[in-house]
Structure 1
Amino acid sequence: MEEAVAHCVAALGAVAGRDWTTVRAGRLDWSCRDTAVHVAGDLISYAGQLAGRAQDAYVPFDITLDGGDGLDPADNGGVLQVIATTGALLAAAVRTTPRAVRAFHPYPFRHANREGFAAMGVAEVLLHTHDMAEGLGVAYEPPAGLCAFVLTRIFPQVRPGPAPWPTLLWATGRGELPGREPVTAWRWSNNPVLRSERLTLEGVTPAVAADLSVAGDGGFTWAGGAPADGTRVGSGITVKQYEDGAFAPEWGMYVLVRREDDRAVGAMGFHGVPDAEGRVEIGYDLVVDARGNGYATEALRTLSAWALGQEAADTVVAVVEEGNVPSQKVVTRAGFTEVDRREGRITYELRA
């Protein structure tokens, strides 16, 4: 967050002496001054959501920029100082908020975690600094790592391009990419989350999947110390889907987190979006230390019920090896019925 703000202040500080109120910010309908105030307002709002643990709506407060006497408006240098300050407050809120906390944000699932708020804050700074710089005629290009941070956390549906910054500009209707149609409408997407009796099913972002696929922990504390091999394999599949532009967040992988101690006990997810017949396949894996507690059955019931509540799906499919008796018990306890048995594999279905 601080890095994004520092680049913003450096780029715009060079033209702080100009009149921002009469210059349009790039393709926006706002002036550069209005856009800068908007950035400061978003940063303090996100910090307030996290610090206040808001659950149902935005914390009802606003920010006013004045010159210190309560009467005269702040000059452009003062506005940049406010952006730096509100950015620091958001960074502090992100660092001090526990991993499992989610606070209200309207799109798309009415909540976001600390990483989501950080990505949204960075996106606001990068994109609106671009808008203002474009309007004021100054050069601006943020570090690629910041752009990738935003893309892999709140733009999971966007296929990576040749470089992160042009891709982010294209994804938000601010630029073009060879071979892709212009974007005229866009929204970012925080990760989905479902809750069962004892577990929180946290949707995996491309960033988390990439870390899990290369022996990382994905930001989770795992029961037993590390995720199961199947989780790493599934994460690799998720990364490939993202790279191919075929990743759909709600129909991806979910990490199963035990709420009583915030320990990850396994992962479960779909192999992709439902097919034309409304069929979607599901798979799962638990760490050894968490098996035998009914977690897989509980999560399977929850995720399957969610899937069958969507218009696109009417059948959830699970394929289990004939020798995997514990997994067979999981699917049958979750209400699945055997429909086929061949080549050492059993196919189960759960219909709407």
Structure 2
Amino acid sequence: MRPISGDDVNKAVAGCVAALRPAVDRDWENTGAGRLEWSCRRTAEHIAGDLIAYAGQLAGRAQDAYVPFGITLDEGTDNAGLLHVIETTGVLLATTVRATPPGVRAFHPYPFRSADREGFAAMGIAEVLLHTHDLAEGLGLGYEPPEDLAESVLTWLFPHVQPGPAPWPTLLWATGRGELPGRAPVTDWRWHNNPVVPAERLTLTGIRPAAARDLRLGGDGGLQWIEGGPYEGTREAAGFLVKAYEAGVHRPEFGVFALVRREDGRAVGGIGFHGAPDEEGRVEIGYDLVEGARGRGYATEAVGALTEWALARPDVDLVLATIEHDNAASQRVVARAGFTRATVEEERTAHDGHGTDTGLRLYVRRA
């Protein structure tokens, strides 16, 4: 898998500066930036401010709020000087991304209150690409970023957006900056960093579409696995995630999570949902472990943590697990995680009304 990195941040910033440099002698203060209410000058300052802010969040390991600092330009800084500031803050973010270990997360408010190094890199790139577009539109300049950067932003930050015919027009549409045939205009949007669910010895780390695609194709999904991983069930679940993403129905909070050991940062299995909750607030859970990680209580810990996380949401009333009749080990796992065997009537309803396989036992846990 091609991970998003500090090199991508530098690439995005270099494209921004190259596109805007021909207009440094123009009046940015009194020229609007595309569809924004900001001037070109304020928009360029915003790019630099975001790049240094993201670097600060990662470097400072901020956990509950933004690090309380900002950037102020020296009086008299001209447009050329402002581009130099964007270059400099881009290098600072790129360097911080490279220096941050895998798994480290820092505060970002939406939607799950944290992001990892790839998330901050993607957010920085998104700010650069989109606001360079705004500036270029306002200044009458041509600009189109490399396709791989636009695609990375989509697969890292817009997992809820169905891919379009090309990444850049899709990203512009998804952020209210353009039209896409067959799709309604976007007037309100947010990006999504991947969710994480903490457990005692594990971190349940949400798998992004790009990582899921790599897992489906036989890769490691950007994760360090223990020997024998990932197990086939995780690859199969990743394939379902990719199908949901390509259909535009993927909800990252009800996707697939890697089970990452806190002690060494290695993945030992996968867990996730078979889809978003239905109209009755029902959601089904599934999991697997690499053989070398079994028998240590990881599955019980993961099932318990993800189930509690799901039941704390307003749209979930019931978590289901279906298990083969002869899989006593898995039945013990869900029992230890607080599930109980469904009643005969509940199983009949699940079979007749929801298509549950009659060859499986049904276990339930309620809110």
Q: Same fold (TM over 0.5)?
A: yes
Specify the alignment match of 1:345 in structure 2: 360
Identity %: 65
Corresponding residue for 1:8? Answer: 16
Letter of the 1:177 partner, please give it: L
Instruction: Please report how far the alpha carbon of residue 323 of structure 1 lies from its aligned counterpart in structure 2 after TM superposition.
Output: 2.4
Cα contact 2:216–2:238 (8 A) shared by 1? yes
Q: Does 1:251 align with 2:240?
A: no
CA distance in 2, matches of 1:344, 1:172: 46
Name the CA distance, whole Å, in 1 between partners of 2:95 and 2:364: 47
Letter in 1 for 2:213: A
CA distance in 1, matches of 2:58, 2:182: 39
State the shift of 1:214 in Å.
1.1
Q: 2:70 aligns with which of 31, 52, 62?
A: 62
Whether the aligned pair in 1 keeps the contact of 2:119 and 2:193 (CA below 8 Å) is yes
Query: Could you say what secondary structure the match of 1:222 adopts?
Result: coil
Q: CA deviation at 1:44?
A: 0.5
Looking at structure 2, the residues matched to 48 and 335 of structure 1 have their Cα atoms a distance apart, in angstroms, of 41
Q: Distance in 1 between matches of 2:316 and 2:67?
A: 37
Match of 1:17 in 2: 25
- Partner amino acid, structure 2, of 1:23: T
Q: Does 1:333 align with 2:348?
A: no
Q: Distance in 1 between matches of 2:42 and 2:317?
A: 48
Name the structure 1 match of 2:181.
178
Question: What is the identity, as a one-letter code, of the residue corresponding to 2:253?
Answer: E
User: Contact 2:228–2:292 at 8 Å: present in 1 too?
Assistant: no
Report matched runs for 1:182-197 at 5 Å: 182-197=185-200
In the alignment, what sits opposite 1:74? 77
Among 300, 309, 312, the residue aligned to 2:312: 309
Displacement of 1:337 in angstroms is: 1.8
Match of 2:352 in 1: none
Paired position in structure 1 for 2:4: none
2:158 aligned residue (151, 155, 160): 155
Structure 2 residue corresponding to 1:263, chosen from 262, 266, 274 = 266
TM-superposed CA distance for 1:84, in Å, is 0.9
* 1:149 CA drift (Å): 0.5
Matched letter for residue 48 of structure 2: A
Compare 12-21 and 113-122 and name the one that shifted more.
12-21
How is 1:159-238 mapped onto 2 (pairs within 5 angstroms)? 159-238=162-241
Letter in 1 for 2:81: G
Report the Cα distance in structure 1 between the residues aligned to 2:327 and 2:76, rounded to whole angstroms: 70
CA distance in 1, matches of 2:172, 2:66: 27
Residue of structure 1 equivalent to 2:6: none
Q: Which amino acid aligns with 1:98?
A: P
Is 1:32 aligned with 2:40? yes
Residue 73 of structure 1 deviates from its aligned partner by: 2.0
Residue of structure 2 equivalent to 1:69: none
Equivalent residue for 1:45? 53
The 5-angstrom pairing of residues 109-148 of structure 1 reads 109-148=112-151
User: 2: distance between equivalents of 1:137 and 1:228?
Assistant: 52
Aligned partner of 1:125: which letter? V
Report how far residue 344 of structure 1 moved. Answer: 3.2
Aligned counterparts of 2:285 and 2:302: Cα–Cα separation in 1: 11
Equivalent position SS for 1:14? helix
- Counterparts of 1:34 and 1:194, CA distance in 2: 37
Pairwise CA distance, 1:343: 4.5
For residues 180 and 130 of structure 2, the distance between their equivalents in structure 1, rounded to whole angstroms, comes to: 17
Counterpart CA distance in 1 for 2:199 and 2:20 is: 48
Amino acid at match of 1:350: R
The Cα shift of 1:7 comes to 0.7
Verify: 1:290 aligned to 2:288, yes or no.
no
> Does the residue aligned with 1:202 lie in a helix, a strand or coil?
strand
Q: CA RMSD in A?
A: 1.2
Counterpart amino acid of residue 262 in structure 1: G
Deviates more, 1:279-288 or 1:224-233: 224-233
336-345 or 272-281, larger mean C-alpha shift:
336-345
What's the CA shift for 1:56?
1.3
Q: Which runs of 5+ in 1 are unaligned?
A: 67-71
SS at match of 2:23: coil
- Paired letter, 2:340: T
Deviates more, 1:211-220 or 1:83-92: 211-220
Paired AA for residue 364 in structure 2: E
Deviation at 1:189, TM superposition (A): 0.8
Offset at 1:63?
Answer: 0.9
Aligned length: 347
